[in-house]
Structure 1
């Protein structure tokens, strides 16, 4: 009788109360099934699915058991596993066995007093543990344990644990429902034990002591619910303990794996920031001794404006730049935050922090081995729909091994895209970046392909690998590909086709495996038509093409990015974060930004350093922004179509200068007077004379 048969009587019961239809646990039903069993075993034509008291799942199992030739009068008595295999299985399930053993040891008196035997089966039907006395089972051989036996439908026919595994839910079999005659006087109740993903890892089973051939009604009605409720409770406790232990082991294993990166600091913290684990490099960074680490909090070593804990609690894998240290002795570190969330509450359990010295990363970036790909798509900020479409395309292309061409003006973030795509495709591989426009024509070939020793005057004695060779297993980023010399384009094309290189002065080819990302701010298609760029190379490079919109076409991003750059720069230096005034933001929005995002970042660094208070005003912006966004410009007056004498009238020029100064000073008269080099009273008078509004 499966628990499915109880559904109608359980569904309306309280959460912690199990009710069972008394008709299903009756002496009459027991006796009827016993008669069916005898008829079924004596006559192969009998179909138990037609019997009125039979559970359909049990009937189907009887039929399968008979077809498999299972002897109902025998039980499994010997292990059909080799000692080595059995040892492997027991070791694999050691956690479950230990938890069950500890639990049943505390309940042993209850189990024995009730005459139960507790079994723990693995998901294949192998007995991992049994507790209780087998002496009352006269049909069983005289031994104290069945551990290590493989018991399934093929060996013992219909059993509670086999149906539990098949149906993935609790199951109870009353006496004659068992296929094996040795258990036909017992009640067996089974419940699954699942992992955090809902996959069954084991089954707990309680088997009652043998009852009379047809036990009394009262005995059946008491023992049935009792054993089922008890085994479900036991399975729930084992499951909870097992999953808690696994979660802890997962965290510990992740920590040990990360500690292999001994050059970086590894710190594990809890939701409150308390340090749980720290490696030697982390202790050097935080200037901690091992014995005091457990009592410290990561917030003690961060600046007041740090966002590290807030980012960790969001549960996203991010990389940020933070200052770590004690007092004023702080250094900059790139921090990889890897949070581990509670499966049920989705709140932060622990976070693993990897601290890498920014100075070391900068040295790597500027050294001969190329750039460090530190940016991911999460680091790229935009609210513009067109830009988001471009980034969505880049995310899709990132996993492809094909060459990628990124087109965009200078400063739009082409290398950020390249690094983000690299960190999706092959984050563990090298990221080699070459700016084709910044390299002399006579050196670019040896820089890309490397050279053998003595190939030319000044060459290193042992030769040197090129950027393509160093990019093996990773990404080669060729920036400003449009400036690559024509004669070198043919060599690059050949390399892309057969993935082989030959060093300058060399005599043999070497296999290389890399993904190419090229970038340009030029119209390559037009250059192809003008024979300034090879058509075959262009088609090879542009298998997948991404266009990045310029900043002037992303109006909503100017405000978002300007505030982001101000906050980032101030956090880096431990300063208070100033607000950008409406007038200053208006100037930023009106400017054309020929240098795009890079120029905006530099402008905000200038503004932060010139702002005296907690507000960035127009006068704190670079002069080129002020001049380009003035509502009235001298050149506009001099180049107009009106009367030249009227345009050059001193009064008109003076009025234009006053209006420009007011705009520059955000309508603050004292500041405007200082810009014009006149007194406040003089400026107030001229404002009245020219009827200029300034409030």
Structure 2
């Protein structure tokens, strides 16, 4: 028995309650400290009324009074009926509504043998106590189970009730009843939400509430259901879905999208929408967008379906499924090389299409995109799909001084310079022979090194420092930058001939804010990978936290998202990441959607931590970090010194 409004924390077993009931009925001993106070008070009232706990009588339906009450409450009933049908489908139990005097004027029931109180008063003098009588007396939401009922005939059932209040006045009570042991654990929570939804519709006045206004309240109600739940509009568009469907099956925000996008067999959509589709045993196969290391489909069995007409005229189809488990992975989606990148958005699909078409050709590739968009990940994907048997090698052209960059790329012989290895060293070109070399931050490469690189692209030979022996190497070149290369060419900072050599195939990577539907997939992937890396249990993302992640602009792109997920995974307690463990600066109050960078106004997070986070997001780039903070580089350096922030020398870029 639970009363959410009183924040009840006490718990009683049915054995304890039965013992208390016996002591009260047989011995007449007060049980205020043995059962919930509201139950104890209701027992006292029943005894004072002289109610026989062994009686089996129920009040009879009064048809004329029922008709009169239905006329009296016609407006309330028209508003409550769709909500009651929602609740009935979710709970699969007896749903009723009574007025402030306890008269039941509407009942929806799947129970054949339950005593029907439609058209009668449910007062304690005749029916004994229960969730409905306690809700009427004390004006609180209530749940009663088994032996908490005064009369033996009611002890085979459980009930939930929630008052419908307008201006602090009791208007009606919404109720749900099922055989004891079969009422949903979250039945009270769903009933409370349903009652508040009716209150909202009543306060809206004679004009029916719009479906968009009802959506968040309906979603709150279905989110308490532990099975996948979908609400469809008349054309198959997803009106809303609970978090179980979104996280377990779709992996992304499904609202406003066609259900056909998530069906392995699109013909199932018409079957689900059809009025005559009444085969609860039928299985439906859904596609998932992403599960760690593979893409799958999942089978679901349709448990219940109901078409509900709103007062506004729209028809909703409410579907409740039972997840059956995965089926075999489709061969056409299997990737023998493992996952190389994650994304199902339109913007990312364009990238994937170019990668698929060009990977097996030796042409040079130029990757363009903001910091943190995944340029190296895409470069690795190109290498993995190319079939080249050599190594994938990456070098950051902006992180090394000119002389060191030359030796790193081309290698050197013994005695080339002070401190050189005794037997020399091969360079990145040789190391990537028959493989792929990624030249990251190519826009930072010094002009004289650009000449050397151009010569290599023309001749495909390298000569180590302190050697006069040229050597042929077979290397595919992928260059990457976050710079505007055409502008660098115009300014004379990058050779035009080299630019054209590198830019045979150009791939523009979209920033994360342009592919927000990929955020749930990326977050799930990072949680899976980091959990395995740190040997900790995997965690789910609370829907509220996922909504915050999807609402943030992510100036640091995928790298920033990974940093946020890593921090939340480490700090969060239990098996769920909630908004409490997300950085303050990404919360809606700190994140204006018109901004492309985090606000410098930080609540609850130190300036030092903010600077560290941005430095990590921009891979140590001082210029970009200062720009994000809206301060000069000199000011940023002073703050770095002030807060004793350790910079990674190899990563710092001015």
Q: TM-score range by the shorter chain?
A: 0.3 to 0.5
Q: Which structure shows the bigger proportion of residues in helix conformation?
A: 1
TM-score normalised to the size of structure 2?
Answer: 0.39
Normalising by the residue count of structure 1, what TM-score does the alignment of the two structures yield? 0.37
